[in-house]
Amino acid sequence: MDSSISILRLFSVLAVFMALVISLFARQVGAAAAQGAADAAAIAVTDLVPPNWDCAEASLPADATATAARVAVDRAAQIASVQPTAVEVRADGTCSVIVSVRVSSHGWLGSGGALGVACRRPPSAEGAALRAPVAPPC
């Protein structure tokens, strides 16, 4: 009888440990997926920006948020336990496009949220003329 209870105790400790490990793994996968989706969405939005963009948020293309959302969903759909919940596109005075993607990841011990933020500048007109689209870091 004592050996049965010992085995049951050991199994329950191992089950709790495995649940913790899998939930932590799911949160890390969610954070990585959020960052990857934000990076892909920022690239897609900067590809939409015209070369003569005046760096104002109001003059971003009308479908910038829709494009960012579509790219974020496509990127996050590659992982079954991660679902994007919010996408935001902004621009600042340094001609940077900032995309934030919030995702929810589901593990054995519930769900967790993660936020990925990416900043990207469109290639300059000089770089595009030289066929060297080098985007400076934000």
Are the beta carbons of 95 and 138 closer than 8 angstroms? no
Mean pLDDT value across residues 64-89: 89
Query: What is the second-level CATH architecture of the domain 2-129?
Result: 2-Layer Sandwich (3.30)
Residue of 33, 120, 28 lying closest to 85 (CA atoms): 33
- What is residue 124's predicted lDDT score, i.e. its pLDDT? 61
What pLDDT, in 10s, does the model give residues 92-123?
878 888 999 999 887 777 778 899 999 888 87
In this model, does residue 126 exceed pLDDT 50? Answer: no
CA distances from 77 to 7, 9, 109, 120, 130 (A): 40, 39, 21, 23, 37
pLDDT higher at 14 or 52: 14
Q: Work out the mean pLDDT of the chain and round it to a whole number.
A: 83
